[in-house]
Chain A
Amino acid sequence: MQTQNKKVSTPIWRNKKVVPVILQAVFVLLVGIVFWILIQNTLTGLERIGIRFGFDFLNARSGFNINEAMIAYSTSDPYYRALLVGIVSTLRVSFFGIILATVIGVGVGVAKMSDNWLLSKVASIYIDVFRNTPLLLQIFILNFAVFLPLPRIQEAVSFGPFYLSNRGAVIPWARVHDATALWLLLLLVFMAAALFLFKYLMRLEMEGGQHRYPFLSALGLLVLLSGLTYLLVGRGPLEPTIPSHTGAAVAGGLSLTTPFLSVLLALTIFTSTYIAEIVRGGVQAVPKGQVEATKALGFKSRTAMRLVIFPQAIRIIIPQMTSQYLNLIKNSSLAMAVGYQEIVGVGNTVINQSGRTLEVIAIMIAVYLFFSLTTSLFMNYFNKKFQLVER
Chain B
Amino acid sequence: MIDERLHIKGEMDSRLEVTDAPRLKQDGQTPFFKALKKNLFDGPKNTLLTLLTALFSGLVLYQVVQFAVTNSWDVVYIHLRLLMIGQYPLEELWRLWFALYYASLMIGGTWGLFKGAGKAVALTFGSVFLAFAIIPWTTLNTTLNLVACLLLMAGGYLLGSRFSVLKIPALVLWALYFPLTLGLIMGFGGLLDPVLSRYWGGWLLTVILASVAIIGCFPLGILLALGRRSELPVVRYFCIAYIELVRGTPLIMVLFIGQLLIPLFLGGQTGMDNVTRAMIAYVFFAAAYLAEDVRGGLQSIPGGQYEAAQALGLNKIKTTFFIILPQALKAVIPAMVGLFITILKDTSLVAIIGLSDFLGTARRISNNPEYLGRYLELYVFVAVFYFIFCYLMAYVSRYLERSLSKGSR
Interface-facing stretch out of A41-49, A157-165, A171-179, A225-233? A41-49
Does any Cβ of A come within 8 Å of B268's Cβ? yes
Interface-facing stretch out of A127-135, A192-200, A250-258? A127-135
Q: Contact partner of B57 among A118, A311, A336, A344, CB < 8 A?
A: A118
Neighbouring B residues of A181 by C-beta, 8 Å:
none
Q: Give the complex CA separation of A120 and B266 in angstroms.
A: 54
Is there contact, CB below 8 Å, between B50 and A136?
A: no
Is there contact, CB below 8 Å, between B390 and A117?
A: no
**Whole-angstrom distance from the CB of B261 to the nearest CB of chain A?**
6
Q: Contact partner of B260 among A119, A205, A299, A357, CB < 8 A?
A: A357
Neighbouring B residues of A369 by C-beta, 8 Å:
245, 248-249
Does any Cβ of A come within 8 Å of B352's Cβ? yes
Is there contact, CB below 8 Å, between A134 and B234?
A: no
Interface residues of A in 252-301 (CB under 8 A from B): 295, 297-301
Is there contact, CB below 8 Å, between B345 and A135?
A: yes
Is there contact, CB below 8 Å, between B17 and A295?
A: yes
Interface residues of B in 275-300 (CB under 8 A from A): none
Q: Give the complex CA separation of A144 and B66 in angstroms.
A: 20
**Whole-angstrom distance from the CB of B122 to the nearest CB of chain A?**
20
Is there contact, CB below 8 Å, between A209 and B9?
A: yes
Is there contact, CB below 8 Å, between A357 and B264?
A: yes
Cβ contacts A14-53/B at 8 Å (1 or 0 each): 0000001001100110010000001001101110100000
Does any Cβ of A come within 8 Å of B256's Cβ? yes
Q: Give the complex CA separation of A209 and B7 in angstroms.
A: 8
Is there contact, CB below 8 Å, between B11 and A303?
A: yes
Interface residues of B in 375-409 (CB under 8 A from A): 375-376, 379-380, 382-383, 386-387, 390-391, 394
Neighbouring B residues of A31 by C-beta, 8 Å:
238
Does any Cβ of A come within 8 Å of B271's Cβ? no
Is there contact, CB below 8 Å, between A132 and B386?
A: yes
Does any Cβ of A come within 8 Å of B40's Cβ? yes
Q: Contact partner of B345 among A133, A326, A344, A372, CB < 8 A?
A: A133
Cβ contacts B23-47/A at 8 Å (1 or 0 each): 0000000000000000110100010
Neighbouring A residues of B15 by C-beta, 8 Å:
298
**Whole-angstrom distance from the CB of B298 to the nearest CB of chain A?**
19
Does any Cβ of B come within 8 Å of A333's Cβ? yes
Q: Give the complex CA separation of A140 and B387 in angstroms.
A: 16
Neighbouring B residues of A373 by C-beta, 8 Å:
248
Interface of A: prevailing SS: helix
Is there contact, CB below 8 Å, between A116 and B50?
A: yes
Is there contact, CB below 8 Å, between B250 and A344?
A: yes
Q: In the complex, what residue of chain B is closest to A140 when comparing beta carbons?
A: B379
Is there contact, CB below 8 Å, between B231 and A311?
A: no
Neighbouring A residues of B349 by C-beta, 8 Å:
136, 334
Does any Cβ of B come within 8 Å of A222's Cβ? no
Does any Cβ of A come within 8 Å of B140's Cβ? no
Is there contact, CB below 8 Å, between A118 and B366?
A: no
Neighbouring A residues of B382 by C-beta, 8 Å:
137
Question: Would A27 and B235 be within 8 Å (CB), given that A330-B249, A368-B249 are in contact?
Answer: yes
Is there contact, CB below 8 Å, between B252 and A334?
A: yes
**Whole-angstrom distance from the CB of B8 to the nearest CB of chain A?**
6
Neighbouring B residues of A297 by C-beta, 8 Å:
6, 12
Is there contact, CB below 8 Å, between B53 and A361?
A: no
Is there contact, CB below 8 Å, between B8 and A206?
A: yes
Is there contact, CB below 8 Å, between B49 and A27?
A: no
Q: Give the complex CA separation of A372 and B248 in angstroms.
A: 6
Is there contact, CB below 8 Å, between B387 and A368?
A: no
Interface residues of A in 205-244 (CB under 8 A from B): 205-206, 209-211
Does any Cβ of B come within 8 Å of A337's Cβ? yes
Neighbouring B residues of A206 by C-beta, 8 Å:
4-5, 7-8
Neighbouring B residues of A128 by C-beta, 8 Å:
391, 394
Is there contact, CB below 8 Å, between A45 and B359?
A: no
Q: In the complex, what residue of chain A is closest to B363 when comparing beta carbons?
A: A140
Is there contact, CB below 8 Å, between A116 and B264?
A: no
Q: Give the complex CA separation of A116 and B37 in angstroms.
A: 10
**Whole-angstrom distance from the CB of B197 to the nearest CB of chain A?**
21
**Whole-angstrom distance from the CB of A212 to the nearest CB of chain B?**
10
Interface residues of B in 53-72 (CB under 8 A from A): 53-54, 56-57
Q: Contact partner of B2 among A38, A205, A311, A351, CB < 8 A?
A: A311
Q: Give the complex CA separation of A132 and B256 in angstroms.
A: 25
Q: In the complex, what residue of chain A is closest to B382 when comparing beta carbons?
A: A137
Q: Give the complex CA separation of A42 and B264 in angstroms.
A: 5
Q: Contact partner of B359 among A118, A140, A330, A365, CB < 8 A?
A: A140
Does any Cβ of B come within 8 Å of A56's Cβ? no
Is there contact, CB below 8 Å, between A205 and B8?
A: yes
Neighbouring A residues of B245 by C-beta, 8 Å:
365, 369
Does any Cβ of B come within 8 Å of A149's Cβ? yes
Is there contact, CB below 8 Å, between A308 and B253?
A: no
Q: Give the complex CA separation of A337 and B256 in angstroms.
A: 13
Q: Give the complex CA separation of A298 and B375 in angstroms.
A: 56
Does any Cβ of B come within 8 Å of A307's Cβ? yes
Neighbouring B residues of A134 by C-beta, 8 Å:
345-346, 348, 359, 386
Neighbouring B residues of A136 by C-beta, 8 Å:
348-349, 351-352, 359
Q: In the complex, what residue of chain A is closest to B50 when comparing beta carbons?
A: A118
Is there contact, CB below 8 Å, between B359 and A41?
A: no
Is there contact, CB below 8 Å, between A133 and B238?
A: no
Is there contact, CB below 8 Å, between A24 and B13?
A: no
Is there contact, CB below 8 Å, between B264 and A351?
A: no
Interface residues of B in 333-361 (CB under 8 A from A): 341, 345-346, 348-349, 351-352, 359
Neighbouring B residues of A390 by C-beta, 8 Å:
none
5 A-B pairs (CB sep. < 8 Å) = A24-B234, A148-B375, A210-B9, A361-B261, A365-B249
Interface residues of B (CB under 8 A from A): 2, 4-17, 19, 39-40, 42, 46, 49-50, 53-54, 56-57, 231-235, 238, 245, 247-253, 256-257, 260-261, 263-268, 341, 345-346, 348-349, 351-352, 359, 363, 366, 373, 375-376, 379-380, 382-383, 386-387, 390-391, 394
Known: A117-B39, A361-B261. 20 other contacts (CB 8 A): A27-B234, A31-B238, A41-B266, A45-B268, A118-B57, A135-B345, A136-B351, A137-B359, A141-B379, A141-B380, A211-B10, A301-B19, A348-B256, A357-B264, A361-B260, A365-B253, A368-B248, A368-B253, A369-B245, A369-B248
What are the 9 tightest A-B residue pairs by CB atom distance, in nearest-first order?
Answer: A132-B390, A41-B267, A145-B376, A330-B250, A333-B250, A134-B348, A117-B39, A145-B375, A372-B248
